[in-house]
Structure 1
């Protein structure tokens, strides 16, 4: 490893990056809130330390030398690494106060973000890290404290709690359904249905249950996630099936309409998985318990 005396200072490297981006000593000085002389001094010292010229000086300005062009990308990456590591360290608190969640994208965007705001009002000092994932759980040797997935209903998922069965509401935008109301099942033929590409059988299930004789016209674009289908609904492109707890506020506000109270029980459910070694952790236990209470309460409403 190089000794400290052979390494350029962070100040010199930041100055180099600023000058390289601006191709101007004066603009770099303004950006860094220092004098132009200080910038020139940092660049001269850095070039002397490297034994290479990083800039070519011309009457009408400066340009990077070939060595400077080679040096810049590596320095940008290195400074970003230092910045990220420093930010993580500054934000680091007692691990007992951080809950790491791995949840499906639609669960995160259409329910969890708002729910966490409510939770944190009641539980000060708890922080959350959220990442998204989908599909089956392949073992629970993971950094996540709680993993939430939508899976076929089963009693055989280890380390899991069923939060709620999936009840899908047929929804359309208020604008679309005011222009083309649905008062009978026959009126469904006036609308397009938005495909769900990872679970294409949902519409067939819906038709068999609700309107087996009604022909269906599909929107030309299919979507992988419910939050994407919901955006298409808001753009008045058609009707979609979306979990009730994800759209309940929009239906209550009459921004979305659930015509004829049509719905589908998909035989899927939202499960919370917790690794054995985290089950006894206070923060995980409390949040897991709160999640169950939230969905139990919403089911009773």
Structure 2
């Protein structure tokens, strides 16, 4: 193992990255707010330490040597990791506990993120780290404290508790309804419906639930997540079925409309999944209670 005196300094490595990015000593000096001579000196010293040239010098400029090309991505990644570790440590110094919550992308973007500041204000010493995932949970004994997934309703999932059933609302943009109003159910035949690629059965259930007999016209693009369907609705691309708790705020602000007040209960629910050994942790308990109250 190399001793500390044999390792390049952080300053030398930052200088190397700056010169490599600009392929110019003068531009690197400007970025680092030092003289061109200081940059040249750092690079020369670094090359002496490594015993190999990092740059090829030519009359019309410089370029990375084969050694420099191999060295650059490794050094850039290492410095990024060092910065991340330092920043994380400084942030964690301000909190007592870190709670890692893994949720579906739509649950996060359309509901949890707009409300998470309320949890942060109520529990300032618990830092929530949000991650996204989707589909069945194969292994919960990893770095996640809590996993939230939308799953088919069932009497029992291991380590899971039902947060709420999924109730879907038919939604449209104001501009789309202005162009083609929906005053009664027959008017739905004039519209295009947005496919949900992960649950293509939803529109068939919708037809059955509301005794719709006309052939439905579907938009030419299917969407994997509800937040994608919402974006398509806002772009006037058609009608979508979206969970009520994700869109009720937009409907209340009249940014989105639920024509004819049409709803449908799906056969899905949102489950909170926690490993047994974490169930009684304070941070898990307070978050479970908070999110249950917010969804009730």
Q: Does 1:52 align with 2:25?
A: no
User: Structure 1: which 5+ residue stretches go unaligned?
Assistant: 297-301
Q: How many residues align?
A: 296
Q: Does 1:236 align with 2:223?
A: no
- Measure the CA separation in 2 of the matches of 1:48 and 1:203: 68
**Cα deviation per residue 1:223-258 (whole Å; 9 max; x = unaligned)?**
111011110000000000000000001111111111
> In the alignment, what sits opposite 1:81?
81
> CA, structure 1 residues 68+158, in 2 after alignment: closer, same or farther (shift >3 Å)?
closer
- Measure the CA separation in 1 of the matches of 2:69 and 2:292: 56
Query: Contact 1:172–1:257 (CA<8 Å) still a contact in 2?
Result: yes
Report how far residue 29 of structure 1 moved. 1.3
> In the alignment, what sits opposite 1:225?
225
- Measure the CA separation in 1 of the matches of 2:36 and 2:97: 46
**Cα deviation per residue 1:195-224 (whole Å; 9 max; x = unaligned)?**
001111000000001133232110011111
Q: Secondary structure at the match of 1:224?
A: coil
> In the alignment, what sits opposite 1:173?
173
- Measure the CA separation in 1 of the matches of 2:157 and 2:96: 27
> In the alignment, what sits opposite 1:164?
164
Report how far residue 63 of structure 1 moved. 2.6
- Measure the CA separation in 1 of the matches of 2:215 and 2:43: 72
Q: Does 1:63 align with 2:63?
A: yes
- Measure the CA separation in 2 of the matches of 1:25 and 1:163: 59
- Measure the CA separation in 1 of the matches of 2:15 and 2:151: 53
Task: List aligned pairs for 1:1-301, cutoff 5 A.
Answer: 1-93=1-93, 96-296=96-296
Report how far residue 115 of structure 1 moved. 1.5
Report how far residue 94 of structure 1 moved. 7.8
User: Structure 2: which 5+ residue stretches go unaligned?
Assistant: none
- Measure the CA separation in 2 of the matches of 1:35 and 1:18: 13
Q: Compute the TM-score of the two structures, normalised by the length of structure 1.
A: 0.93
- Measure the CA separation in 2 of the matches of 1:170 and 1:52: 66
Report how far residue 122 of structure 1 moved. 2.4
Q: Which moved more, 1:185-194 or 1:278-287?
A: 278-287
- Measure the CA separation in 1 of the matches of 2:159 and 2:274: 6
Q: Which moved more, 1:169-178 or 1:213-222?
A: 213-222
- Measure the CA separation in 2 of the matches of 1:131 and 1:91: 17
- Measure the CA separation in 1 of the matches of 2:24 and 2:94: 45
Q: Secondary structure at the match of 2:221?
A: coil
- Measure the CA separation in 2 of the matches of 1:139 and 1:44: 50
